[in-house]
Chain A
Amino acid sequence: MNTVNTILMRSPEGEAKEVEAPSEELARLMNAGWQRAEQAPRKEPEGAKQHVASKDAGIHQRVG
């Protein structure tokens, strides 16, 4: 089964676009200064942030 391979490219202005690779369009975008977009950093779960915040608060409480 053939699977289409696509990658995320980012323009010099920051626009993101999914592009088939290899393809003429990919080469054209690279020539125009587009870069391969890095994987977006994994979002930290909200719960984890809250946990750190509450821990800090606890320390302050103890010190105080």
Chain B
Amino acid sequence: MSLARTQEYINGWGKVKQADIATANLLAGIWRLSKLNAWAQRKLNVESDADELGKGHEFQTASYKTSWDCTGAIEKYLSSEIAAWAFAFGLGKVVESPAGTYTCTPLAPVTDGLELPYFSFLQAARQGASPVEDEMMVGCAVNDFNIAVAYGPGRANSKITINWVGSGKLVQPSAITIPAATAEHLLPSASLALTLIGIDYVTLKRIVSLEFGWNNNIMMDFGFFPGSGFQDTGDGVSGAIRGRLLCGNRVPHLRYVALVEYGSTEWTKLKGATTGTAVITLTNSATETFTATFQQVKIMVADHAEAEGFCAVTVECAPEYHSSNAVLSVVAKTAVTGIGQ
């Protein structure tokens, strides 16, 4: 027997963007990072003819390969490398200048369209002559990401979760040897700087936990359009794949829990519909860091809460569209160059 344990799982994915949805990343554009969860899923959807009339009975006599789905999640301790990647591929528009410094913003539909940069995702167990698993999903895009920082010791207090979806195109075996792992620089919770509508939560020592992110709500079924193509080119019974992954209504989110004290203003700001920026920074070093700026946020919910026995408030913010600065901009820095390029 040649069984493999889950610990043999390795993965890699496009650090640079694909040329288009159907053109896989090349080895030179792929990096390998550790993560906390294992297999992404590839699914062949098969329809049965059991419910069709005319057969004389209720049983299946034939099946049809109709379409393919590829989905996965990247759950990781937060690092400057994965943060830069998530912002570049999750927001969609990225300018690298100088090398290793990435300014990321959401796509501007008028000029950028609503197709995010695509990447290939590889996963394997025991690559080589006798692989247990070895596959590459081509034409993947970030559906949503969430960064969560919390109190307490350990790496788990600063994590990122990225959910991605694919066109359905699957290459087995991948024909790419997944490269050695890229060294990462953690962005621990203890490095947080947070100023939100004029409140410096870290200086005041009031922040308990924070999470923020972005959801592209990618229109999966809309990716199957007439002519979108098949798993095996020219083979009409191999199952359809998507020819586009368009963003639906994009939704940013920002919420946090903070301790309350005499003079806390969350409730006042909610009642006053006060707006301001939210600036979030996590830092490993001057060259391994990011700053995310929500250009105009408003507190929508400020509910009573409790944190380790202390009075607290759970705050839900609405990131609004600022007339000149839009919704969100991020400057991410890492030694790794070429992300999203």
Whether A30 contacts B98 by the Cβ 8 Å rule is no
A12 touching B110 in the complex, CB below 8 Å, given contacts A22-B331, A30-B103, A30-B329:
yes
From A7, A24, A28, A33, B95 is in contact (CB under 8 Å) with: A7
CB 8 Å contact bits of A23-64 with B (1 = contact, 0 = none): 010111011111110000000000000000000000000000
Minimum C-beta distance from A4 to chain B (A): 10
Whether A30 contacts B95 by the Cβ 8 Å rule is yes
Q: Is B161 an interface residue (CB 8 A)?
A: no
Whether B95 contacts A21 by the Cβ 8 Å rule is yes
Please count how many residues in chain A sit with their CB below 8 Å of the partner chain's CB atoms.
Answer: 17
A21 touching B97 in the complex, CB below 8 Å, given contacts A27-B325, A27-B329, A35-B111:
yes
Whether A27 contacts B97 by the Cβ 8 Å rule is no
CB 8 Å contact bits of A1-32 with B (1 = contact, 0 = none): 00001010100100000000110101110111
Q: In the complex, how many residue pairs between chain A and chain B have their CB atoms under 8 Å apart?
A: 56
List of A residues within 8 angstroms of B110 by Cβ: 12, 33
**Beta-carbon contacts under 8 Å, B107-145 to A:** 108, 110-112
Q: Is B233 an interface residue (CB 8 A)?
A: no
From A9, A31, A34, A36, B326 is in contact (CB under 8 Å) with: A31
A31 touching B325 in the complex, CB below 8 Å, given contacts A12-B110, A22-B331, A36-B95:
yes
List of A residues within 8 angstroms of B93 by Cβ: 30
- Chain A: CB-nearest residue to B291: A22
Whether B329 contacts A33 by the Cβ 8 Å rule is no
Whether A21 contacts B329 by the Cβ 8 Å rule is no
Q: Is B243 an interface residue (CB 8 A)?
A: no
Q: Is B324 an interface residue (CB 8 A)?
A: yes
List of A residues within 8 angstroms of B98 by Cβ: 5, 21
A22 touching B326 in the complex, CB below 8 Å, given contacts A7-B95, A33-B108, A33-B110:
no
List of A residues within 8 angstroms of B327 by Cβ: 31
> A residues engaging B (CB < 8 A)?
5, 7, 9, 12, 21-22, 24, 26-28, 30-36
In the complex, 30 of the A-B residue pairs with CB atoms within 8 angstroms, ordered by the A residue number, are A5-B97, A5-B101, A7-B95, A7-B97, A9-B95, A21-B95, A21-B97, A21-B98, A21-B103, A22-B101, A22-B103, A22-B331, A24-B329, A26-B95, A26-B97, A27-B105, A27-B293, A27-B331, A28-B326, A28-B329, A30-B103, A31-B105, A31-B106, A31-B326, A31-B327, A32-B108, A33-B111, A34-B111, A35-B112, A36-B97
* 16 extra interface residue pairs, beta carbon distance < 8 Å, beyond A28-B325, A30-B329, A35-B112: A5-B97, A7-B95, A21-B95, A21-B103, A22-B97, A24-B329, A26-B103, A27-B103, A27-B331, A28-B324, A28-B326, A31-B327, A33-B110, A33-B112, A35-B111, A36-B95
